[in-house]
Structure 1
Amino acid sequence: MKIYGDKRSGNCYKLELLLSILGKTCEWIDVDIMQGDTRTAAFLEKSPNGKIPILEISGDRVLSESNAIMHYLAADSALIPTSQFAFARLLQWQFFEQYSHEPYIAVARYINIYLGLPEDKRQEFESKQAGGYRALAVMEQQLKQTPFLLGDALSLADISLFAYTHVAHEGGFDLSAYPAIRNWLNLIRAYKGFVPMSGEK
């Protein structure tokens, strides 16, 4: 199997972290979105949506969307709960990550880290702050009650949301008012198999 991605991207880092926790390996193909690598004919043939990451299982079997790839890679592992309700809650958090968290925290980080916070993007960057803090407040409320998002054990929900939350400061977000989130971040960093994001100290 091959993963096409950018290790600075939270959506790609999810997969790198997951594989390490699972003790699995996968060939990694670096893709530079800033140089147009995802818009080439060869890439679009694999992934018509033109986004990373993608998982190439075989020549004609390709998965896109980071959370879908995570479910494929983690199938039959303890990271996916077996009860119907807990599984639905896992999906709930992953949908939350994509619709209520990433559009604010990840986009603000992209504007700052990838684009260098140009003046013509400053208003958009600032407009992302309120939504990002709303998402953090939702996480804080849950993590005050349980150490991980689904309870006492790590799941795909935690890996999905860790990816961009742990670098939220790169999008201008201050986590000092979120002690439960900070504790959760430390629990994941201490987890067996943890690897930091590329370039992170």
Structure 2
Amino acid sequence: MSYILPSLSYNYDALEPYFDEKTMKIHHTKHHQTYVDNTNDILKDFPEFSKLEIEDLIQNLNKIPLVKRTFLRNNAGGHANHSMFWKGLKIGTELQGQLKSAIERDFVSVENFKQVFEKTALTHFGSGWAWLILTSNDKLVVISTSNQDNPLMGNLVSNIFGYPILGLDLWEHAYYLKYENRRQEYIQAFWSVINWDEAAKRFAKKTF
């Protein structure tokens, strides 16, 4: 079994004017496709791992020989991160229900959560991701990871293991054609395209 590039459930221009059509198309068909291809290529030597769901695979990177692990970490991480990212985008959904209550519990208010998330994303140096994660003690936390690392990788990348509820791609290829060096504008645009329904499903999953 090989991993495949997931189809989007919307057109490339569906997130205009916040995320532009050209960036979305290149991001999906070029960048994400490369992560898929590279992951499949390296797993030719480890066929037993290609049977795992991508989020399971990135939790088992310690079972891959060290000489191959970093390359797989970068590319399988890229596939996992982007697969989640596309599902998490949609205009017109609303934060409500249990997820909203949990955000208010752990961040005092939704507005404060947004401020924490924006600061984390804006101050992250270089390429990476900003995340809202659910930790093993059922607490929501905002963190960032470098490159294509994912909170599910746990101790391999940080001292925090968590289940990602939503994530924002901070690589320049995700925003530079439209926002150039204005990362803050891109981060603020994210609030208009979050698929809160998808985030609520991930929160309700509560895998811990």
TM-score (norm 1): 0.31
